[in-house]
């Protein structure tokens, strides 16, 4: 993370804004996995009023790194001139259309970066698939991820079923196909196969 030389005013403003921000409503549907989540528009709806009230402004820019990854830079500025900035990026993974998948990944990164900066919660991925998480003792469990062959199988099924990558990753509780928890592999495959069978039957 980068920041201005002094952050006392922006830190105070963020604290006041976060005290007023409520977690966004999960009004958007993941059409493939039949789950609900707060989309980017809803995250913006709950953050903008509080940020504006306390002299804060958020700007986000997509970028592509030299190695082809897609990312977003998020900057929070304060009326005092103080600022904080950070970036997040993921390898671009194309399931069906490079423009559509890149756009979906940018939106995904914008939503999560803004939510993290505002200190708000979104979809509980653990409720969907029992994703690995940190316990109350600080111990992280079930960190094993799927193999390269399993990742390739998922990508193949996503292509055959024309599935939305952002939706699948949200359902799987992962940022990339390769980081899908091994414990969730069978359920993801089952969901994709069920969609494939339905498409073939139709």
Looking at the chain, the whole-number percentage of residues with pLDDT higher than 70 is: 79
3-state helix, strand, coil in the chain (%, to 5): 45, 20, 35
pLDDT digits (tens, 9 = 90+) for 87-143: 988 887 666 677 777 888 888 889 888 988 888 875 544 333 333 444 333 333 345
pLDDT at 130: 37
Which residue(s) pair with 78 in the sheet? 56
Domains observed in the chain: 1-123 (3.30.390), 125-202 (no CATH)
For residue 78, what pLDDT band results from cuts at 50, 70 and 90? Answer: very high
For residue 38, what pLDDT band results from cuts at 50, 70 and 90? Answer: low
* Rounded CA separation 193/57 (Å): 44
What average pLDDT does the segment 163-192 reach? 84
Rg, Å, the chain Cα set? 19
User: pTM of this prediction?
Assistant: 0.57
Which residue(s) pair with 86 in the sheet? 74
* Rounded CA separation 118/24 (Å): 11
What average pLDDT does the segment 28-38 reach? 49
* Rounded CA separation 107/113 (Å): 10
pLDDT digits (tens, 9 = 90+) for 9-28: 999 999 999 989 887 655 54
pLDDT at 21: 87
Cα 41 to chain centroid, rounded: 13
Helix, strand or coil for residue 142? Answer: coil
DSSP-derived secondary structure letter, 22: P
């Amino acid at each position: 993370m980068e920041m201005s030389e002094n952050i006392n005013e922006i830190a105070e403003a963020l604290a006041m804004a976060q005290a007023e921000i409520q977690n966004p409503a999960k009004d958007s549907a993941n059409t493939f996995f039949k789950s609900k989540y707060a989309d980017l528009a809803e995250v913006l709806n709950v953050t903008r009023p509080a940020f504006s009230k306390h002299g804060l402004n958020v700007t986000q820019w997509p970028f592509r790194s030299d190695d082809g990854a897609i990312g977003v830079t998020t900057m929070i500025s304060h009326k005092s001139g103080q600022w904080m900035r950070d970036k997040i990026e993921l390898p671009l993974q194309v399931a069906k259309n490079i423009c559509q998948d890149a756009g979906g990944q940018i939106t995904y990164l914008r939503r999560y970066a803004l939510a993290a900066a505002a200190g708000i919660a979104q979809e509980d991925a653990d409720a969907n698939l029992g994703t690995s998480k940190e316990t109350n003792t600080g111990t992280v469990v079930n960190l094993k991820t799927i193999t390269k062959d399993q990742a390739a199988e998922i990508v193949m099924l996503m292509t055959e079923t024309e599935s939305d990558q952002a939706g699948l990753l949200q359902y799987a509780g992962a940022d990339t196909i390769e980081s899908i928890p091994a414990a969730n592999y069978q359920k993801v495959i089952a969901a994709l196969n069920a969609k494939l069978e339905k498409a073939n039957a139709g």
